[in-house]
Chains A and B, each alone.
Chain A
Amino acid sequence: MNVSSVKGSMSISSSTSTWKAGDTISDQFPAGLRVLVVDDDPTCLMILEKMLIACLYKVTKCNRAETALSKLRENKNGYDIVLSDVHMPDMDGFKLLEHIGLEMDLPVIMMSADDGKKVVMKGVTHGACDYLIKPVRIEALKNIWQHVVRKRKNEWKEFEQSGSVEEGDRQPKQSDDADYSSSANEGNWKGSKKRKDEEEETDERDDTSTLKKPRVVWSVELHQQFVAAVNQLGIDTVPKKILELMNVPGLTRENVASHLQKYRLYLRRLSGVSQHQSNLSTIISAQDPTFGSLSSLSGLDLQTLAATGQLPAQSLARLQAAGLGRATAKSGIPITLVDQRNIFSFENPKLRFGEGQQQHMTNKQQVNLLHGIPTTMEPKQLVSLRHAAQSIGNMNMQVPPHGAQSSQNNPLLMQMGQQQQQQQQQSRGQILVDSTINHAPRLSSSMGQPILSNGIATNVSSRNGIPENIRAPGYSQTPSMLNFPMNHASELPGNSFALGSTPGVSILTSKGAFQEDVNSEIKGSGGLMPSYDVFNDLDQHKLQSWELQNVGMAFDTSQHSNSLQGNLDLTQSALGQQGFSSGQMNGHNRSAAVASKAMFSTGDVKELGSAQNVNQHLNNLLVDNTIRVKSERVCDTSPANIFPDHFGQDDLMSALLKQQESVASSENEFDFDGYSMNNIPV
């Protein structure tokens, strides 16, 4: 029987002793790998369990997604990998995938009898590390450990600043002579195994927290540099090139590689967010409490933000409450464009938290920001924007750049993630995100704004629209869009998003905060891209929202909806990265958030007569996002990049930056995966 033969081979291969979960990778690895398998079909579940046991894994089976999630939550470090079916009655497999990615950052393998390209692609965009077609054969399961090793390796690399580079380098090199049929990482495993045997390090198996390697801190500046490099080379570039272009001493290819991965995931999430409000909500809700329920920027978020001081939350809250009907509201935020603008203008002063002057700037900038945003946003859109923004915020938080960053994620996320709001926000966040995403496309159409940012703005009602464009996979667009809850069609009744006026906003939206819908949204917004540019230019501003920037950049490049996807990816990664530099972001986030707000306000909020509210909203959202994002991102990233050229982005940026800096924040509720609102293209 296989089991015995496997055992035999395992014992032969190495010299070390018993494998213990959490222990160093011993000879017996991958034996003992702790697998959680979820499938509603009892026959399949039984067979899978038996197969996994035959592979010497430690198996836990669940027939419901909820059960699986609660098991994972109860014991966050109790599992190494998750196998999940796609079609399940209580929860969609992809939703579960997102939850896991965000909260636990575990590798997830999807399974289905469905081998259609679309479904498989969905798995990819949602961050699944593999997709198995049923009926699953034992051979396919024998190699699933590679995903665990790969992930850890990447995480480990993230940590190392310079020093353990060699070891890291060694790993990839070893993969050349992989014996395993499908595992290219066999070499890695061997290498790492060897390394472990020799050095008895427990890095690979242990929690990343135990790693002693110096962590690469992806500061805002660094992230901006990264994003700039990626934009220049294209999202499909290789880490080596990025590294060369960035030319940062001490940075390794591995650091860049893992950061890039996260960034891509982030962008993908952003683009993918738009469509599914509900998904978002689920995700958001499922997200870490640290994220603090991005879900809704609604008053809660605002409050939180305000409380934290970073974000002119108060203003936001006020605005939101006023314009949007308060936080809980997903209900059709009556965010008319006009209102939005007003909101934004209000925001401006607030954003600054003390900066007064910036407000004006921000106001203007807001306008700019929203310029891409159709001024005729229906209240719904606005609302959704708001929600979206919130959600984005939440989303960002929740959606770690590479989805899985939940714990390590980006500090931004943590920061942003206002736990309190979590629950509420989660749902809201989703809405927001969704709305934004949806709206994004709409925005462009109706508002003509590139607000894509988060798709909030315009498509609040239409979640549907944007589906593919935004491809921001995991990153909640937040950075740029951050907050346009516009997308949330369902939630926001009125779409009167003043998105039009706030170009910056659009950018944010496109950022793809919305993971699912973002894709679509972003495309629509097209306009968002410019916002990134705006942000980028504002280097001086520490709006770390590199994500935003990225978004901006992303948008610029792809002015077209299609490109948004790419941008989003960038943004996402950017955001993701931002997320990493968690520490930095805190302070930055605030400012970013503020800045973003400012951005919105500065954006031609005014233009949108009715869009004011929207703008404000957007701004708020943006700001919120920025704040959140900022936590990770260094404020340095000038939001200027994000903002399109429409308005004195520089002004905006500076305003934003100032705001951000002044914001004390800590809580960027909107934990946009590091997207700093700063980049909200104005």
Chain B
Amino acid sequence: MDRNRLHNQVASMRRSLFDQGYLDDQFIQLEELQDDTNPNFVQEVVTLFYNDSTRLIQNIEQALNSRPIDFCKLDDYMHQFKGSSSSIGAKKVTNECTAFREYCNAENAEGCIRSFQQVKQEHAILKRKLEVYLQTVRQASQTA
């Protein structure tokens, strides 16, 4: 049945997101918060995260492009970004943020720039995967 297929699909997508390290336990916390009173909670949070993180990414880009680089500010922005991404369970993104902060502390501009590319990449990958996943979840819940 369609529903079964969809549900299976959802389950397997979800499992792979966890297995591949894109998501961690915190995401499960979000899922557990979702209930009948808030049926789209996970979707809402993820959307909110991506909207907000875009702003943070822009700030970081700007800070990285300015000369001289203000490592303090960079660290601050990245700290915020890390807090945000960790709160939705974006494991890989959070790890890249940690790496970035290390370069930042060492005031290694080159390292920061490279690391930031990684952050953006993971951020984009996860976004795509979550979009697909959540869409499938929606479809599965809609089919009777």
The interface of chain A, by Cβ under 8 A from chain B, is: 1-4, 40-44, 46-47, 50-51, 54, 85, 87, 112-114, 134-138
Bound-complex Cα distance A44 to B53 (A): 12
Chain A: minimal CB distance from B113 (Å): 22
Cβ–Cβ < 8 Å partners of B29 in chain A:
47, 51, 135, 137-138
- Contacts A2-B35, A41-B52 supplied; 5 other A-B pairs, CB < 8 Å: A2-B32, A41-B83, A43-B52, A47-B87, A50-B41
CB atoms of A135 and B36 under 8 A apart: no
Q: Please classify how large the interface on chain B is, using the bins under 10, 10 to 19, 20 to 34, 35 or more.
A: 20 to 34
- Binary interface profile of B, 48-79, with partner A (CB < 8 Å = 1, else 0)? 11001000000000000000000000001001
**Distance A134 CA – B94 CA, assembled complex (angstroms):** 12
- Determine if B95 is an interface residue (Cβ-Cβ < 8 Å): no
The 5 A-B pairs at the shortest CB distance, nearest first, are namely: A1-B35, A113-B83, A135-B87, A43-B49, A135-B86
Q: Tell whether, in the assembled complex, residue B87 and residue A41 are in contact, meaning their CB atoms are under 8 Å apart.
A: yes
Is A113 a contact partner of B86 (Cβ separation < 8 A)? yes
B44 contacts chain A at the CB level, 8 A cutoff? yes
B46 nearest CB neighbor, chain A only: A43
Is A134 a contact of B36 with CB atoms below 8 Å? no
| A85 proximity list for chain B (CB < 8 A) | 83
Residue of A nearest to B88 (CB): A43
Assembly CA distance A318 to B140 (angstroms): 79
Task: Assess whether B80 is interfacial by the CB under 8 Å rule.
Answer: yes
Q: Which of A40, A47, A135 is in CB contact (< 8 Å) with B33?
A: A47
**Smallest distance from the beta carbon of B70 to chain A beta carbons, Å?**
15
Q: Does B38 contact A (CB under 8 A)?
A: yes
Which residues of chain B have C-beta atoms less than 8 A from A44's C-beta? Answer: 83-84, 87
Residues of A within 8 A of B34 (CB): 1
B52 contacts across to A, CB distance below 8 A: 41-43
| Closest chain B CB from A90 CB (angstroms) | 13
Cross-chain pair count, CB within 8 angstroms = 70
Docked complex: B63-119 residues within 8 A CB-CB of A: 76, 79-80, 82-84, 86-89
- Alpha-carbon distance A401/B113, docked complex (angstroms): 48
Q: Are B45 and A138 in contact, with the CB atoms below 8 A?
A: no
Chain B residues contacting A42 (CB-CB under 8 Å) are 48, 52
Chain B residues with CB under 8 A of A43: 45, 48-49, 52, 84, 87-88
B30 on the A face (CB < 8 A): yes
Give the nearest-CB partner of B37 in chain A. Answer: A3
A113/B35 in contact, CB under 8 A: no
Cα(A278)–Cα(B108), bound, Å: 32
CB of B136 within 8 A of chain A? no
Q: B26 an interface residue at 8 Å Cβ cutoff?
A: yes
Q: How many angstroms between the C-alpha atoms of A46 and B36 in the bound complex?
A: 17
Complex formed: what's the CA distance from A46 to B87 in Å? Answer: 10
| A-B CB contact pairs (8 Å), 9 listed | A1-B32, A2-B32, A43-B84, A43-B87, A47-B30, A54-B33, A87-B80, A87-B83, A113-B86
A167 to B18, CA, bound (A): 50
Taking the closest CB of chain B, its distance from the CB of A559, in whole angstroms, is 37
Instruction: Return A117 CB to nearest CB of chain B, in Å.
Output: 16
| Residues of chain B lying within 8 A (CB to CB) of residue A134 | 83, 86-87
Asked if A87 and B87 make an inter-chain contact with CB atoms under 8 angstroms apart, the answer reads: no
Please, which residues of chain B bring their CB within 8 A of the CB of A3? 35, 37
Task: Give Cα A162 to B137, complex, Å.
Answer: 62
- Known interface pairs A87-B80, A137-B29. Does A46 touch B86 (Cβ–Cβ under 8 Å)? no
**Of all chain B residues, which has the CB nearest A137?**
B29
Q: How far is the CB of A64 from chain B (nearest CB, A)?
A: 14
Q: Is the CB of A46 within 8 A of B83?
A: no
From the candidates B32, B36, B49, B87, name the one contacting A138 in the complex (CB within 8 A). Answer: B32
Asked if A1 and B36 make an inter-chain contact with CB atoms under 8 angstroms apart, the answer reads: yes
